[in-house]
Amino acid sequence: MPYGPHTPDDRARMRAALGIASIDELFEDIPLAVRAPGLDLPGPLTELELSFRLRALAGRNRIDLASFLGAGVYRHYVPAAVDQIASRGEFYTAYTPYQPEISQGTLQTIYEYQSMLAELTALDAVSASHYDGATATAEAALMCLRATGRARILVSAGVHPEYLATTRTYLDGSRFALETVPLRADGTTDLAALERLLADASAPVAGVLVAQPNVFGILEPMAEATRLAHAAGALLVAVVEPVSLAVLAPPGAYGADIAAGEGQPLGLPLGYGGPYLGILAATSALMRQLPGRLVGRTTDADGRRAFVMTLRAREQDIRRERAASNICTNQALCALAATVYLATIGPHGLRDAAALGAARARELERALAAAGAPRVHAGPYLNEFAVHVSDAPRVHAALLERGILAGLPLATWFPDDPVLRDALLVCATEVTQTAEIEAFAAALRDVRTEVVA
């Protein structure tokens, strides 16, 4: 075993203390009929061999293309300090801070995370983390159902399809109804349709989920959607992207009851799907409906300020089948990375990152339009938008050959939509270079000529 300290003599001493001759005596409680004969697995590899294998696998992934792919997961510049702090063993090899006297480091950073996310969302109660944007959104829907006692959820068609799919999985179709609210041609949620769906008095709505920006990058009329939801006695869940909150109106400002979102843009790597950070925040009225850990400020027996996990009566280890959620393990280290990211980039740096991404996106819009790929939706956008390209999946594949990752072919998610199946969803952030935008536009011109030919 590569990491164990025991010498043969150590093991012999322990066996002697126990009065056993063979280790097998400690496994005699496993019935013979189901005792495994051993395993068939590769290895063991020494650390050197392992490093070769892992390097070879990592090397088979292609990360060298000029990327315009976002769709909920974004490349950002991450200050070098973030990974150095998140790599400290005192943080990453600690457990959940059940013993607060020797966990003040983790507890205070979670409190700081909650404080900074409260500031970004303008909501009072921030969970110490959920798994990712999709599960945070699903938990937000469950919160609405619990808080209102109603059984129907409305989700804007502009919510990320993977979040919508996850929410569907979480909501038992036989217990709770989930309906989608269509978008208008400009890419914004159809508020007239929302109003009609809310008006059905026989099936009152618990919560309305709207994304800002939505999955097509379009900015939604959040204040109006909130007003409609509240008029029908429903809660409004804003599905947010946290870097955008440096420049966009925060959920608390337009009256949202809950904010859910993907925290990956706050200093976490793309990492092919995770680990990410589920952001979940709510008004203080909904604090006790929040799933997962919360850290609060208190004092110790000598009156010193200290931090501790609080409102624990919502949690599974105390409340068991009456808990607000089954969540136990969360994404604490990812929340730490987000905390260090926000502390080291600062409010002005975050605003610069968001606004520079928007500026690059406007360059991208102009360059692609000039190359024959105009925007699909007319609504306002921040740093991501869909463009129309005939035969988009083939064009996307041809661009890969030219070193361009041309965003996401929306046919991936909407193969039957006559508009979206011929569209690419593209984004820019502060790391997008003007030269890459020019290369994308030039390659697109070439490829469109070829595909047409």
Partner 1 sequence: MSEHIDVVAPGDAPGAPFGAADALCPAVGAALQPTLDELSRPGRRTARVPHPPAGALDGIPAEQLRSLPPALPEVAEPDAVRHFVNLSHLNYAVDTGFYPLGSCTMKWNPKINEWAARLAGFADLHPLAPDALAQGTLELLWDLERWLCEVSGMRAVTLQPAAGAQGELTGILMVRAWHRSRGDSARSEIIVPDSSHGTNPATASMAGYRTITVKSDARGGVDLDALRAVLGPRTAAIMLTNPSTLGLFEDQVCEIVDAVHAAGGLAYMDGANMNAVLGKFRPGDAGFDVMHFNVHKTFSTPHGGGGPGAGPVAVGEKLLPFLPSPRVLREQDGSFRLERPGERPTSIGRVRSHVGSTGVLVRAYAYLLAHGAAGLEEVSEDAVLAANYLRHRLRGTYEIPYDRVCKHEFVASASNLKRETGVRTLDVAKRLIDHGHHPPTIYFPLIVEEALLIEPTETESLETLDDFAGALEAIAAEAHEDPEALHSAPHSAPVRRLDEATAARQPDLHWRPMTGAQMPCLD
Residue 199 CB, shortest distance to partner 1, in Å, is: 25
**Number of chain residues interacting with partner 1 (CB under 8 A):** 204
Restricting to residues 158-197, which ones interact with partner 1 according to CB under 8 A? 160-163, 165-166, 168-170, 172, 174-175
- Contact present, 389 and 450 (Cβ < 8 Å): no
The single residue among 200, 285, 319, 450 that binds partner 1, judged by CB under 8 A, is 319
d(CA 47, CA 51): 6
Residues 238-277 that bind partner 1 (CB under 8 A): 245-250, 252-253, 262, 269-276
What is the rounded CA–CA span in Å between residue 148 and residue 398?
50
Distance of closest approach, residue 204 Cβ to partner 1, in angstroms: 20
Phi, psi for 128 (deg, rounded to 5) = -70, 0
User: Does position 432 bind partner 1 by CB under 8 A?
Assistant: no
By beta-carbon proximity to partner 1, the closer residue of 199 and 378 is 378
452 binds partner 1 (CB under 8 A): no
Q: Is 151 exposed, middle or buried (0-12, 13-18, 19+ CB in 10 A)?
A: middle
Which of 8, 21, 34, 201 touches partner 1 by CB under 8 A?
Answer: 34
Q: Which residues contact 295 (CB under 8 A, 6 or more apart)?
A: 97, 107, 110, 111, 114, 128, 307, 308, 309, 310
| Whether residue 213 has a cis bond before it, omega within 30° of 0 | yes
By CB under 8 A, residue 118 contacts partner 1: yes
Cα–Cα distance, 438 to 402 (Å, whole number): 13
Instruction: Give SS3 for 76.
Output: coil
Instruction: Return the residue of 8, 101, 418, 452 that touches partner 1, per CB under 8 A.
Output: 101
Sorted by sequence, the CB contacts under 8 Å of residue 31 that are 6+ apart come out as none
The single-letter DSSP state of residue 323 is S
Q: Does 8 bind partner 1 (CB under 8 A)?
A: no
Q: Which of residues 125-164 bind partner 1 (CB under 8 A)?
A: 125-126, 128-129, 131-135, 142, 160-163
- Closer to partner 1 by Cβ: residue 46 or 196: 46
435 touches partner 1 (CB under 8 A): no
Residue 351 binds partner 1 (CB under 8 A): yes
Residue 403 within binding range of partner 1, rule CB under 8 A:
no
Smallest distance, partner 1 to C-beta of residue 255, A? 13
378 forms part of the interface with partner 1 (CB under 8 A): no
Binding residues among 60-79 for partner 1 as defined by CB under 8 A? 60-63, 65, 67, 69, 71-73, 75, 77, 79
Decide: helix, strand or coil at residue 33: helix
